[in-house]
Amino acid sequence: MACDLRDDPDDERRRLRIELGRLVARLPTVTGTGFGYPAEPFGRSTATWRQAFTAMADAVLDDAGRYRVRLSVPPDRVREMFAAAAGVLDDVVRPTLVPFDLWEGNLLLDGEAGARTLSGVIDGERMFWGDPVADFVLLALFGNVEDDADFLSSYAGRPSAALRRVRTAAAGALPRLSLPDHAGGDGAPGLSARGVGPYPAVCDSATPDGAAGLEAARA
């Protein structure tokens, strides 16, 4: 059955979030030979995470221009933000398995209520080889994984909280740019850079103060 814990006792939800943390912590043990999407129609793999991530972002921004989609943040501004964060992206040196869609609707459970366990994950079409922290974006859809103490308690070997926030915010820009917002005055759909969760606006990192913050997080 699909994972829906909204009406479950707190103790079962906590136990399952701890189990999920252990599962997600194992994903980086699966590595690829390059960064990016595994299917060549989406582009060949690259030698660095910066190259792959930039290509992903450029593809979204190019589509926005091609289909005349209105963005609340100008594409050039978004590209400036990624340029400012390039050093953080370069900290990722090993391409690991990133499902990039681990919200609760894609997690399967087995067993009776009160004694259920995680039994599987579905919808792997978003998968890429990249930064494992990118999975934090949808692990707390419309929330903040930093508030999920149960999940984080079993997710071993993670980077510092400050660096994790920066890298998660960068990865979160991709679904932000893909979320439908509202229709434009001409009837065309509009897209916004609204957050998947309550992370700080990633475009702040394109400012001098934001760039300094990125470097401080890396230290």
pLDDT digits (tens, 9 = 90+) for 85-140: 778 888 899 999 999 999 999 999 999 988 999 999 999 888 999 998 888 888 87
How many whole angstroms from its chain centre is CA 208? Answer: 24
Number of structural domains in the chain: 1
Domain presence at residue 2: no
Expressed in angstroms, the distance from the first to the final Cα of the chain is 43
pTM: 0.75
Domain presence at residue 85: yes
One-letter amino acid of 26: R
* Residue 113's CATH number: 3.90.1200.10
Which residues neighbour 203 within 8 Å (Cβ) at sequence distance 6 or greater? 73, 77, 78, 80, 81, 193
Domain that holds residue 126: 10-218
Domain presence at residue 5: no
pLDDT digits (tens, 9 = 90+) for 40-81: 777 789 999 999 998 988 888 888 888 887 777 788 888 887
